[in-house]
């Protein structure tokens, strides 16, 4: 595991110390790691949303669409047999 040292103004250091104490983190490092993980998740979600927004439209999700999904679930995900 790598090490990183950061300098914070007193007001931010106090805020971090409060968060560690009030939210049950063992150390300020745990708190900062959690913030970084949340930021990674936020960026990943943003990228997924942007990719979806720039993709071609999918099928219309109307009543018929959901009826078809329910039918597939009832059949265990098997495609409808062609008769």
Show the tokens assigned to 2.
């790598």
Whether 41 and 48 have beta carbons less than 8 Å apart is answered as: no
Given pLDDT bands bounded at 50, 70 and 90, which one contains residue 62? very high
5-60 pLDDT tens trace: 999 999 999 999 999 999 999 999 999 999 999 999 999 999 999 999 999 998 88
> What does the alpha-carbon distance between residue 43 and residue 39 come to, in Å, rounded to a whole number?
6
Whether 19 and 31 have beta carbons less than 8 Å apart is answered as: yes
Q: What is the pLDDT of residue 28?
A: 97
> What does the alpha-carbon distance between residue 79 and residue 67 come to, in Å, rounded to a whole number?
14
> Is the pLDDT score of 81 beyond 80?
no
Whether the predicted model's global pTM rises above the 0.75 cut? no
């Amino acid at each position: 595991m790598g090490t990183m040292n950061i300098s914070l103004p007193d007001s931010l250091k106090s805020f971090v110390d409060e968060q560690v104490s009030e939210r049950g983190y063992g150390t300020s490092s745990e708190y900062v790691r959690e913030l970084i993980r949340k930021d990674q998740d936020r960026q990943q979600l943003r990228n997924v949303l942007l990719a979806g927004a720039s993709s071609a439209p999918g099928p219309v999700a109307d009543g018929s669409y959901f009826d078809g999904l329910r039918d597939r679930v009832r059949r265990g995900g098997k495609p409808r047999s062609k008769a």
